[in-house]
Amino acid sequence: MIQLLNKSKHGYKLLCATLLLLLFLILIISINAGFIKIPLSQVWSAFFGNDIGNQRLILFNFRLPRIVLAILIGAGIAVSGAIMQSISRNELADPGILGINVGASFSVVLYMFIFHGSSFLTGILSIFLMPFTALLGAFIAAALIYGFSRKRGKVTPIRLVLVGIGINAAFASSTMALQMKMEPQDFMKTLTWISGSIWGTNWSFVLSTFLWLIILVPIAVYKSRFLDILSFGDEVSIGLGVSIEKERLKLLLIGVALAGACVSVGGGITFLGLIAPHISRALIGPNHKKVLPLSALLGSLILLGADTVGRIVMSPTEMPVGILVSILGAPYFIYLLMRTK
């Protein structure tokens, strides 16, 4: 399959077009997924004609923001995962497994705990403050992981993953301790959010997430050549004149920022950053200039699909999207762990 796509001049473009078509089809299904069913004819009227009932309100205020946010979060986490796997040279790396997501989650839960009841800091302003809050937690987690992973001036891939797992456990325990001090209603809200949920979103959340991705994803694609070089190992990278520690740190910051921005609105969605890059490399090989955009497409496809299934299967209630992604990703992680030497 890889050879076929690489040899074909238009194979990569055809693959991306196919995934975009699948994403559009899932988007159409997702528009009508939920307790209130809207016939396609009324969807068309809500968009281009006369509104019938409250269809336009349901579509534009509730379902479309959620759909767009799922697409953005899926793309951001997938690109972050591809970066993490490359700089650590470990196929098990993922922002959720390494502790980046949990660090961001701890920071957001701490924010909610401290400023509970403050209308100024929990209203519309919090939508734009939350990414910075999550980013702070993600960077603290990344700094701890990077610092403890350094030995004799170098960061080895295996130490990076092992330290990340330890940091993950520490932040998860701290987050649970904070939740235990919350009111029961706030505890349930944070518990659902940490599980990975894009319920109750709006266009302000979409805008705040889009601004981060429109800046960081193109930068990641621009620096994709360094990801290719780093994948050959430190000795080869140094031989090619690359400052590996400098470039690895820059790429780590990009990956952490993407993860933090996505966690701030989508909660702790684990394994998505593991699955999407693996599928991308299996389809088109290790060229990161192609892997990163394809990972973004696959991440959006997986997350929107999981969110749609969660709304259909559990109707009239719904299952947090993070749980469905974990159900899919956990067996694959175990498979990778068993085959890793």
Q: With a cut of 50, say whether residue 120 has pLDDT above it.
A: no
pLDDT at 119: 45
Nearest to 212 by CA among 249, 247, 259: 259
Q: pLDDT grade, residue 244 (50/70/90)? A: confident
Q: Residue 302 and residue 294: Cα distance in Å, rounded?
A: 12
pLDDT in tens, 26-39: 998 898 887 777 77
User: What's the whole-number average pLDDT of the chain?
Assistant: 83
Q: What is the mean pLDDT of residues 307-318?
A: 82
Q: With a cut of 60, say whether residue 189 has pLDDT above it.
A: yes
pLDDT at 124: 53
- 285 φψ region: left (φ > 0), alpha (ψ -120 to 50), beta (else): left
pLDDT at 116: 67
Better-scored residue on pLDDT, 293 or 149: 293
Q: Are the beta carbons of 69 and 198 closer than 8 angstroms?
A: yes
Q: Are the beta carbons of 227 and 79 closer than 8 angstroms?
A: no
pLDDT in tens, 254-284: 999 999 889 888 888 888 999 999 999 989 9
Better-scored residue on pLDDT, 261 or 42: 261
Q: Report in angstroms the alpha-carbon separations of 107 from 79, 101, 158, 159, 303.
A: 22, 10, 26, 24, 23
Two tokens at 220? 């990641």
pLDDT at 49: 67
Give this prediction's pTM: 0.89
**% the chain with pLDDT above 90:** 26
Distance spanning both ends of the chain, measured CA to CA: 25
Q: Residue 257 and residue 124: Cα distance in Å, rounded?
A: 22
pLDDT at 81: 93
Residues 167, 90, 243, 159, Cα dihedral to 10°: 40
pLDDT in tens, 224-237: 988 888 777 666 66
Q: With a cut of 70, say whether residue 298 has pLDDT above it.
A: yes
Q: What is the mean pLDDT of residues 111-119?
A: 69
Q: What is the mean pLDDT of residues 45-74?
A: 81
pLDDT at 264: 85
pLDDT at 93: 79
pLDDT at 322: 87
Q: Residue 45 and residue 40: Cα distance in Å, rounded?
A: 9
Q: With a cut of 70, say whether residue 5 has pLDDT above it.
A: no
Poorest-pLDDT segment among 105-114, 184-193, 263-272, 322-331: 184-193
Better-scored residue on pLDDT, 250 or 93: 250
